[in-house]
Amino acid sequence: MAHAAPAPGGMSRQRRTPDVFSARVHTAAKWAVPVVLGLVYGYWAAANRRDGGPITGWNVLFGFVTAFAFMVLYVVVRAVASRLRREPHALLWGAFAGCAIGFLYVQGGATRLASTVLGLVVAAAFFVMLFYRYYTREDAEGHRVA
């Protein structure tokens, strides 16, 4: 019975999926994702704030200002977090998510204490989830595995 000869270097456990998108698509997504997420977040915050009432000019302005602030913070967090080690990287994204959810919750009329508690719970959950993700995708020296 014939068997295949082993490949040099042993078996590879990591399989990389092929990159099917071009550099142009990645560049477009780099800017489209923050814009789309920011607009959704701004609409959500404005809808929470008006609480089913009529749409006013101030409400629309609040939504666009919130969307712009979210976009800027998302881009800054994405740029800074990629340079950090796994603990601060996960902590920064967790803090961003917790603040974002806490802000949305307080716009719906919740107390500041309730929104703070919810934000901290979300931040802790994101930190644990992302720390595990980054920890399992690094080598022993802390370098990210491609």
Q: Please give the tally of structural domains in the chain.
A: 2
> What's the confidence (pLDDT) of residue 113?
96
> What's the confidence (pLDDT) of residue 8?
61
Note whether 92 and 77 are same-domain residues.
Answer: no
Residue 136 sits in which domain range?
Answer: 85-146
Note whether 69 and 92 are same-domain residues.
Answer: no
Looking at 43, 66, 83, the residue that finishes a domain is 83
Note whether 75 and 93 are same-domain residues.
Answer: no
> What's the confidence (pLDDT) of residue 121?
97
DSSP per-residue letters across the chain = ---PPPPTT------PPP--S-HHHHHHHHHHHHHHHHHHHHHHHHHHHHTTS---HHHHHHHHHHHHHHHHHHHHHHHHHTTS-HHHHHHHHHHHHHHHHHHHHHHTT--HHHHHHHHHHHHHHHHHHHHHHHHTTB-TTSPBP-
Total-model pTM: 0.80
- The answer as to whether 9 is a domain residue is no
> What's the confidence (pLDDT) of residue 19?
76
- The answer as to whether 111 is a domain residue is yes
> What's the confidence (pLDDT) of residue 27?
86
Note whether 101 and 138 are same-domain residues.
Answer: yes
Note whether 50 and 106 are same-domain residues.
Answer: no
**Which residues does the chain have with pLDDT short of 70?**
1-16, 140-142, 146
> What's the confidence (pLDDT) of residue 79?
94
- The answer as to whether 7 is a domain residue is no
